A = this chain, B = another copy of it.
Amino acid sequence: MTISKGPQAFPRVEYLRRLSLVKSEMARRGVEALVVSDQHNITYLTGYTARSAYVPQGLVVSSKEEEPAFILRRMDGPAAIHQCFMNRDKIIPYPEELIAHPELDGYDAVIDHLQAAGFSTRCIGIEQYNLSTLTVEKFRKRLGEARIVDLTKVVAWIRLVKSDLEIEVMREAGAIADAAIARAAEVIRPGVREADACAEIASVLIRGVNGKPGTQLEPITLCATPRTGTCHITWAEDIFRKGSQVNLEVAGSRHGYSTALMRTYSIGAPFDRLQNVHEIQLEGLEASLHAVRPGATCSDVANTFYRAIEKRGLKKESRCGYAQGIGWTEPTASLRDGDLTVLVPNMTFHLMLGNWPDEDFGYVISETVRVTETGVEVLTNSPRKIFEIS
């Protein structure tokens, strides 16, 4: 009648380490209970990866308790018992009645829990930026005697620096991304439907490599001629043609962690502009990889890339990447001019050098990287070339 605890992606001590970092920050700010509502932060602190964030749920980290309490929909309780590192008494399901209820929702259950746990007159942190105005108003109204402070991104900043265990998981995801990039070179052919190629790529991303499956499928971005100037569409109802260019972005996924990778393909020899842009971007990629080291800033890395390609007459308007981990893009450090976040070992970034200079022309290359003690480790291993399809 009870569900078993599933295999855990990380040992208990790893979750307790993460929680202790959060609790230190809570203590520094005088916060006694933190309501974590961002689904990726919940994954980080518990191991929970089920797809239930489309209804309200909240993880309450208490300064007084070792394990957090997870308040979520009744229906999702068994998955939480199965996946989370905590003991089952920390999984607190709220009734199905609250789903699509005209006045109440799951945040009422979170507030009920805070009240029952004695936080009604204490200092409570919330992740305000992830919550709607109506929810924030509900917290303020129903917890009128508490002091409510915004701790948006506090957990996200903590997870920017990975543990060695997390890095290992991201390496596993990187190996899956490499395999998908290689498979694409086998299945992109003139006359083949974009959808059929993507089915093969998705298959690799799910099956994984080295006995380790992808644990979910992240979106595949495939922008082929005449759509190489777009960045975020997926396969179209079209076929590949001789002379087509294909820009591909994939991510391997392990236990919620994404390792992303972009490469460009050409059916036949690359046309001159494509070849030229590739060579310039490659120089920029290598220069920016050399710029990644502890003590440098995100801005330094981005500007190294911009300078390298501008010397050769190319510009890139968009940023050069972002922190990467759970949920693909992390909402903290950004490889952009002016971001003065200082790199420290085990930060991970998607060094995303896709460049879309024209409405009808773009080129993509990227690496997911880790800051090491002395420089950089690239977490993937795909050749830095235009994949030429004969």
**Which chain A residues have a beta carbon within 8 Å of chain B's beta carbons?**
1-4, 6-7, 49-52, 54, 74-79, 81-83, 95-96, 99-100, 102, 128-134, 136, 193, 195-196, 198-200, 202-204, 206-208, 212-217, 219-221, 226-227, 229-237, 317-319, 322, 329, 334, 336, 338-339, 356, 358-360
Contacts and interface: CB of A to CB of B under 8 A. Distances in A.
B96 A237 contact: no
Contacts of A102: 338
A219 to B, nearest CB: 6
A298 to B, nearest CB: 9
A130 B129 contact: no
Given A1-B358, A195-B214, A199-B202, A54 B329 contact: yes
B217 A3 contact: no
Nearest to A196: B207
Given A79-B230, A82-B227, A199-B204, 18 more contacts: A3-B229, A49-B233, A50-B232, A54-B329, A75-B317, A83-B233, A99-B318, A100-B319, A100-B334, A100-B336, A128-B134, A133-B133, A199-B202, A199-B203, A202-B202, A202-B203, A213-B237, A215-B235
A339 B97 CA distance: 12
Contact of A360 (B3, B133, B136): B3
A206 B215 contact: no
Contacts of A96: 317-319
Nearest to A203: B199
Contact of A75 (B82, B196, B217, B356): B356
Contacts of A134: 128-129
A243 to B, nearest CB: 16
Nearest to A318: B96
Contacts of A227: 3, 6, 78-79, 82
A134 B130 CA distance: 10
A79 B215 CA distance: 29
Contacts of A79: 227, 230-233
Contacts of A233: 49-51, 79, 82-83
Contacts of A339: 100
A39 B4 CA distance: 38
Contacts of A81: 359
Given A232-B51, A237-B7, A359-B81, A202 B217 contact: yes
B359 A77 contact: yes
Among A128, A132, A336, chain B packs the most CB atoms within 10 A around the CB of A132
